[in-house]
Amino acid sequence: MKKLNQVVVALMAVGMLGGTIMPAVTASAASTGYSRNRKISTRHATYRVKNTKGKTYTITGPAKNVKLKTNHYLKNYKKNKWIRTKITQVKHHGNWLVYYYMKPVTKKKHTGGWVKLTDMKPVKTYKAGPHNDADFDTWYRTLNSDGRNAYSGWTDSGALDANGDPSQFPYNREQTKAYLLGIKMR
């Protein structure tokens, strides 16, 4: 009987230890809800702050479980120019959005960060005309969340044109509209 009590006490102790250690391990492996595509270098372009409530982030972790940590507030850089060097797409709550890696042009050497495309505006923009398409930033802002998700599914992080700038769909306007609406064309 004494031996049985010792075995029962030992099993209870192991069970209590396992119950306290196991939840801590699974809690630290929880998903952040963010994932990203690969990062691509782009042609350097100049931008200004559009949304003063925006932030720049550092991106760490594997592509399937990315962590975004704020490192700058754009309200402190209202009059500064920024240089775009890379592009990626980040998914949060099922919706994709393009992020640019930006470095501020200041006398002090501040580190850059990843900024939402919608928080910045290019210094030079051009709209679509009868013989040319709008620049990528202007075009991307016109997409709704379904269009942005479709763009992410079509590209791996971001398509680049011959100049090294992010590009739109390579289709003509009718094919692009059909693709975004899910209509099959011949």
In order, the DSSP letters of 1-62 are -HHHHHHHHHHHHHHHHHHHHHHHHHHHT---SEEE---EEEEEEEEEES-TT-EEEEEES-
Q: Is residue 26 situated within a structural domain? A: no
**pLDDT score recorded for residue 115:** 94
Asked, for residue 171, whether it belongs to a domain, the answer is yes
- Note whether residue 28 is domain-resident: no
Is residue 59 within 8 A of residue 67, CB to CB? The reply is: yes
Q: Measure CA of the first residue to CA of the last residue in the chain; give whole Å.
A: 82
Show the domain range for 109. 34-181
**Which amino acid type is present at position 155?**
T
> What pLDDT, on the 0 to 100 scale, is given for residue 14?
64
Classify residue 80: in a domain, yes or no.
Answer: yes
Number of domains composing the chain: 1
Residue 67 lies in a domain: yes
> Which of helix, strand or coil describes residue 136?
helix
Q: What 3-state class would DSSP assign to 159?
A: coil
Q: How far apart are CA 61 and CA 103, in angstroms?
A: 21
Residue 110 placed within a domain: yes
Q: Name the stretches of the chain with pLDDT < 70.
A: 1, 3-4, 7-11, 13-32, 126-128, 131, 133, 153-186
pLDDT at position 79, please? 87
Tell me the CATH number at 129: 2.30.30.170
In a domain, 68, yes or no: yes
Is residue 21 domain-resident? Answer: no
Amino acid at 74: L
